[in-house]
């Protein structure tokens, strides 16, 4: 989710929260129509928490009314005369009307969260909102103001509101319809709807905050959320004033037409592209997670495939890592530490770097001092090594071919393995003139296998019996370990978290 998306969704929330056209439907359908793939673990808390922006707008607009209502409510409790005034009674009616929505939220939260990922469901319920508005205009006689409100009438309005927990059923539209079918004037039904929205938006916001706190990389998401919040607040305040003026003199039929048209349009788009109606999120069952893996880490594929089978909630699509074509839809698994925003990096494990030679070379152990001499070219042959290295261990006697020069193999300078080797392992970055290039570990293995005097560095998982690993005298093991990192280029989803967590566990438990 980026800044532009947050601003647009904030505007949509500010407009549609109070107009009877369902803010939740628009927050689902608009990203779907624009082709946005929103991270599922962010969708629900973002949509709920920007409603707090419209809550602030409500409080700012009705702050004088709310002050009087609160004073009368406290006075009624102190005097134990709960219906002592119209204002005190109104607060109790708001509390009564809130109860059905509270129960529906607790009982249906998990189903509602999944519904937020399906534009077809939102479009269907949006047409349901149109039916409620149409019914209220046909049956409503607009006789009463809020002084005629009773506990059972407020409870009925609350039951209407309870259905709005599903994306597509407008909360304000359902409340206005619930009031109008009981013969309340349109403007009074709208005012009660706005006041009734305060406890609902507040409780939903608290739930959203709890979900938000569970997010990984929360600090990177907060600025986006703050922008959406402020946008929804400003736009919502302006819409409240306009709508109250509108309801005093106009019917709800334009909103009926809009809801039906927008709902049918969304369903129509889905007919030509059915896959788009299945889910607008990146974390539903059947999610495709694109993985870009550096060629030296292809051994991780077995762990990815196993995790895919164990979790069975997504499918994985692989491609070979190329820096220039790294897409924003991909997770890059690499050991490269360059150009990384560490707020979005997952440490999957470590890979040890080995010093390797062909099986014919009789070296078993060597001090790092002599490794540097070999790679800098100051020590040219096995004969020199036999003569000068008292700490070296050899598996064979001096032979005639040991007078040949070492054939040094390295990776290209831009390759992360070579960068790590030069930065952490070698004192000299200027190899001898006999240096050869291996573009990747696979070529390095073949080169060392075929070379009588070849020597090079190799990631541990690429070592096999056709080559020999050389032990290092007094080498610090941790200095030879390079971190394996998963780097999502875009926003992360819950499915991605589960996949990477599974892979991390398998790598750490891998008995190489």
83 contacts 89 by C-beta, under 8 angstroms: yes
Burial of 81 (0-12, 13-18, 19+ CB in 10 A): exposed
Hey, where are the domains in the chain? Answer: 3-278, 287-349+495-508, 351-481
> What are 416's two structure tokens?
């992360």
Class of 351-481 in CATH:
alpha beta
Q: Which of 456, 479, 481 is nearest to 467 (CA)?
A: 456
Q: Which of 187, 204, 236, 214 is nearest to 54 (CA)?
A: 236
In sequence order, the 6+-apart residues with CB closer than 8 A to the CB of 328 are 489, 490
- DSSP notation for 178-229: HHHTTTB-HHHHHHHHHHHHHHHHHHHHHHHHHHHHT-TTHHHHHHHHHHHH
Q: Which of 367, 362, 360, 365 is nearest to 397 (CA)?
A: 362
Tell me how far CA of residue 238 lies from CA of 46, 198, 203, 227, 388, in angstroms.
22, 17, 23, 17, 85
197 vs 97: CA distance, rounded Å: 10
pLDDT by position in tens, the chain (length 512): 678 888 998 999 899 888 888 887 888 788 878 877 666 556 666 777 788 888 899 999 989 888 988 888 888 888 777 666 888 888 899 999 999 988 887 777 656 655 555 677 788 889 999 999 999 999 988 888 888 888 899 999 999 998 888 778 888 899 999 999 999 998 899 889 989 988 888 887 777 777 667 665 566 667 888 898 899 999 999 999 898 888 888 889 999 999 999 989 888 876 766 554 554 444 444 456 778 888 788 888 888 878 877 765 556 665 554 444 444 557 888 886 555 555 567 888 888 889 998 887 888 899 988 988 888 888 888 888 888 888 888 876 655 556 778 888 998 888 888 888 888 888 765 555 668 898 888 889 998 888 878 899 999 888 888 888 888 887 676 678 888 888 876 655 667 777 888 888 888 777 55
Burial of 307 (0-12, 13-18, 19+ CB in 10 A): buried
Strands 314-320 and 330-334: unpaired
In sequence order, the 6+-apart residues with CB closer than 8 A to the CB of 502 are 303, 307, 310, 311
In sequence order, the 6+-apart residues with CB closer than 8 A to the CB of 230 are 10, 53
445 vs 110: CA distance, rounded Å: 52
Tell me how far CA of residue 265 lies from CA of 21, 100, 300, in angstroms.
14, 32, 44
Tokens 């006999």 correspond to 434
196 vs 167: CA distance, rounded Å: 18
pTM of the shown model: 0.53
Strands 287-293 and 393-394: unpaired
> What are 330's two structure tokens?
């991909």
């Amino acid at each position: 989710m980026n800044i532009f998306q947050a601003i647009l969704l904030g505007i949509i929330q500010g407009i549609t929260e109070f107009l009877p056209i369902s803010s939740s439907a628009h927050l689902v359908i608009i990203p779907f129509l624009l082709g946005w793939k929103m991270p599922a673990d962010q969708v629900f808390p973002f949509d709920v928490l920007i409603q707090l922006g419209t809550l602030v707008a409500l409080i700012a607009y009705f702050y004088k009314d709310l002050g009087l209502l609160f004073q009368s409510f406290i006075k009624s409790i102190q005097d134990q005369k709960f219906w002592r005034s119209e204002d005190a009674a109104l607060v109790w009616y708001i509390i009564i009307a809130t109860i059905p929505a509270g129960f529906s939220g607790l009982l249906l939260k998990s189903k509602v969260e999944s519904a937020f990922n399906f534009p077809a469901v939102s479009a269907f319920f949006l047409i349901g909102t149109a039916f409620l508005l149409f019914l209220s205009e046909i049956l409503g006689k607009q006789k009463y103001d809020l002084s005629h409100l009773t506990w059972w009438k407020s409870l009925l309005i609350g039951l209407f509101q309870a259905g709005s927990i599903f994306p597509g059923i407008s909360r304000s539209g359902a409340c206005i319809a619930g009031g109008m079918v009981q013969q309340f004037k349109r403007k009074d039904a709208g005012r009660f709807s706005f006041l009734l929205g305060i406890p609902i938006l507040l409780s939903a916001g608290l739930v959203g905050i709890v979900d938000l706190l569970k997010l990984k990389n929360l600090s990177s998401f907060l600025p986006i959320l703050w922008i959406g919040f402020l946008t929804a607040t400003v736009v919502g305040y302006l819409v409240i004033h306009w709508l109250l003026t509108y309801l005093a003199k106009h019917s709800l039929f334009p909103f009926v037409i809009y809801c039906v048209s927008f709902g049918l349009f969304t369903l129509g788009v889905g007919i030509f592209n059915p896959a788009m109606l299945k889910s607008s999120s990146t974390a539903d069952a059947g999610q495709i997670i694109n993985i870009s893996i550096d060629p030296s880490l292809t051994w991780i594929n077995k762990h990815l495939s196993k995790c895919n089978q164990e979790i069975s909630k997504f499918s994985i699509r692989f491609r070979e890592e190329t820096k220039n074509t790294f897409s924003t839809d991909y997770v890059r698994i690499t050991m490269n530490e360059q150009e990384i925003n560490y707020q979005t990096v997952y440490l999957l494990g470590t890979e040890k770097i080995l010093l390797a030679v062909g099986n014919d070379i009789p070296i078993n152990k060597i001090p790092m001092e002599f490794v540097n001499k070999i790679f800098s070219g100051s020590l040219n042959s096995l004969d020199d090594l036999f003569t000068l290295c008292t700490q070296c261990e050899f598996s064979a006697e001096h032979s005639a071919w040991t007078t040949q020069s070492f054939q040094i193999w390295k990776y290209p300078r831009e390759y992360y393995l070579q960068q790590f080797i030069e930065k952490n392992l070698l004192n000299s970055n200027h190899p001898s003139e006999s240096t050869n290039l291996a573009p990747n570990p696979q070529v390095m293995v073949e080169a060392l296998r075929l070379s009588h005097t070849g020597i090079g560095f190799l990631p541990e998982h690429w070592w096999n019996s056709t080559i020999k690993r050389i032990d290092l005298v007094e080498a610090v093991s941790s200095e030879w370990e390079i971190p394996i990192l998963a780097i999502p280029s875009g926003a992360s989803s819950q499915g991605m978290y589960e996949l990477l967590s599974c892979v991390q566990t398998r790598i750490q438990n891998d008995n190489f």
